[in-house]
Amino acid sequence: MAANENLPPNVIKQLAKELKNLDETPPEGIRVGVNDDDFSTIFADIEGPAGTPYANGVFRMKLILGHDFPYSPPAGYFLTKIFHPNVAPKNGEICVNTLKKDWNPGLGLRHVLIVVRCLLIEPFPGSALNEQAGKMLLDDYEEYARHARIYTDCHAIKPKPKFKNGAISESAAALNVDQTNTSALSTEQKNGATGAAVSLPSPLAPTTNTAAKVSQDQPTNAAPSTVTDTGVHGSTTLSVAPMMKNKENVGLPKGGNADKKKIDARKKSLKRL
């Protein structure tokens, strides 16, 4: 707690509040590390911005707060070696106007850290602490970028892989869709098998052909039934039994009535005699 005692109680309270806010909602590409026993030194990891020679690298830095902070600006240092016009090659001191003449007691740590990361995007060779990098930036940017990339590859911390929530939700959704399609296919296959079984005729319900065959096999002396014949002029209902009776009458010999008439005629002739 000795280091914290160098800062006024109201400053410690303000720093604690601001550090908590930085931890809960960190700025893009910045992660802050804090030692609760020493608020006078703030550590931060700065991700190299995309499209710069510092991309795909993480650079560790620290801010040292003096006993008269916030009335005097903190001192910033890169702990990771970096090829940059505004970073001293020997001790990593950071030179930026926000930490010099443009300092304001109202500026918070969040603002300072964002400015330092922006420095990686747009260096200021006019206030260079690394004269070689400043001159190279002005004369040959491609050569400057090549040197900066070499430093990044050799000294920067490799960023940890990130998994975005959106990517996870889309993969899960795709997996759920695949599982749903698979379930639907299995259900269709099951329903298809069930449908095939249902479509088979039940042995308890004879088919129409079987019923017709039974009707044809019935003897002629069975109970009378009707048959409907549909033709061009309409429907005609015929009785099977009368038709069978007529057929029996047709089968009798026609000579029986004629013989009876002859006998009756002979009888009449004998009576006349």
Which residues are known to be catalytic? 95
Determine phi and psi for 176, rounding to 5 degrees: -65, -40
H or E element at residue 12:
helix 9-24
Amino acid in the structure at residue 215: S
CA distance 188 to 197: 14
Task: Detail the DSSP E strand segments found in 107-232.
Answer: 226-231
Q: Which residue has the tokens 């869709």?
A: 177
What's the one-letter identity of residue 109? L
d(CA 156, CA 84): 13
| Residues counted in the chain | 273
Cis peptide before 70 (omega within 30 of 0): yes
Report the distance separating Cα 240 and Cα 108, nearest Å: 111
What's the rounded Cα separation, in Å, for the pair 40 and 79? 16
